[in-house]
Amino acid sequence: MSQSELSGSIAQAMASRRRFLARSLVSSGLVGFPALLRAGVLTPQARSTSPNSVILLWLNGGAGHLDTWDPKPMAPREIRGPFSAIPTAVSGVFLSEHLSRQAQIMDRLTIIRSADCTDSGHLPNHVLQTGHRDAAPRRNKQGRNFPAIAAVASKWCGSCVPGIPASVAFYVSKQSVALGGWLGQQYDPFDGNIGPKAFELTPGLSKDRIKSRRRLASQLSTAGVGPDLQGHTEAVGRFDQQAAQIVLSGRAKRAFDLSLEPQDVRERYNAVPWVDQFEVRGQMNDQVLLARRLVEFGARFVTVVLSAKGNSATWDTHGNPVKVGYGGVETGTKPLLPPTDHLLATLVEDLEERGLLDQTLVVAMGEFGRSPRINHKTGRDHWPAAASIVLAGGGLRHGGVIGSTDRIGGEITERRVTPGDIAATIYRHLRVPLDAQYLDGSGRPRNIVVDGAPISELF
């Protein structure tokens, strides 16, 4: 037999074995099992043993900075908008009147008022969710392939403990969540909307039977049919072991089960005003509580899209009266502020009371800010030139403001913060090596941090 024929036979045998293993895994009866594998339940090569985690509250559509964390009370009304500014627990720092609870805990928050969101848009793998300016699909055809910060965390850190997904996302539309990109689909976030049923066993299937099938798969994977030149069989076996561990341990199922949470805690998260125009009223309350439960159980990175609609969401407040739930500053932004204020403050206080705040970094941000001048539709348009971001926890220095914008909130005047700075800050918190690289689709090495460094004022 020639060398080429031998190589072809080996490849055919390996492909057949992989197909058999895949069929055996699917037939093992683990509900949601293939999804667990695709979602990057655990990373195969964890490089960080840090217990730290991240909760990202994504303000889908882009929150107006003048109407939230960077009010301009001395500007003309067409600039400052209809809301007043109120003092906070930190002298000299003012917030929108509709962020009263955050004002009370300002000593535990940091507001970045100088986030440069150039090139950021509404599409998947947002610039801010990846830390890369080139992750803009409308400008760069490869933009969708840049991995999310959450995906990098999954690859380099894995979950904090076995038996829990590394990255979880709650969303209305998957278009609002950045994915694994060039790192691979196995680093996409686990779909938090599925809930505890994803971890249930098919009726009649015992844990002993699953373990037996795992042993069989292990034996088959070591059968002497030739070398696994590309590592496919090893990967199948590794993910089989990890995904089965998650299902068999029952840890993830408990983490997603809100019925195990004390009623007073559930009521605390749900004690928030809503307006009837939102289609998923109250759903976000439970999702933020689930985010706390997940990091408590060992998840590494949890994303909650604070939105009541689809892709560009309710924060996209241009003022179009036809699109109910978007609206303008009064009809679109204002209804979102009290629930967002309540959920962020409640999450921070809950984490602190449980001793989890120092190891959990809470980040609230969106795609960009919104235009200083209110348009003729009584809304604000996209404004990538400046945005505000809120940070809490993570054992960082808090209780102040980083950066500033001019008198109308149009341009950054002090301490420009790039998407790369945000990514680097999160990676340092998670103890991901800042010089780490990955390979893109052409095999070219790329840095996880570009044009950025950890924000020194926080450390």
Q: Is 345 exposed, middle or buried (0-12, 13-18, 19+ CB in 10 A)?
A: buried
Separation of alpha carbons 337 and 77, rounded Å: 19
The pLDDT assigned to 248 comes to 65
- Per the DSSP assignment, residues forming a β-bridge with 87 are 94
Tokens read off for 105: 């805990």
Tell me the whole-structure pTM to 2 decimals. 0.84
CATH topology for the 50-208+251-458 domain: Alkaline Phosphatase, subunit A (3.40.720)
In one-letter notation, the amino acid at residue 459 is: F
With tokens 């102040």, the residue in question is 400
Tokens read off for 204: 């009649």
Nearest to 172 by CA among 343, 339, 308: 308
Contact by Cβ (8 Å): 132, 17: no
The pLDDT assigned to 6 comes to 46
Give me the residue spans of the domains in the chain: 50-208+251-458
pLDDT (tens place) for every residue of the chain, 459 residues total: 555 554 454 445 444 444 444 433 333 333 344 444 444 444 444 456 789 999 999 999 999 999 999 999 999 999 999 999 999 999 999 999 999 999 999 999 999 999 999 999 887 778 999 999 999 888 898 999 999 999 999 999 999 988 899 999 998 888 889 999 999 988 999 999 887 777 776 666 555 555 555 554 554 444 444 444 333 444 444 455 556 666 666 888 899 999 999 999 999 998 876 555 554 455 788 999 999 999 999 999 999 998 766 544 579 999 876 555 578 999 889 988 998 999 999 999 999 999 999 999 999 999 999 999 999 999 999 999 999 999 999 999 999 999 999 999 999 999 999 999 999 999 999 999 999 999 999 999 999 999 999 999 999
The pLDDT assigned to 212 comes to 56
Separation of alpha carbons 241 and 392, rounded Å: 36
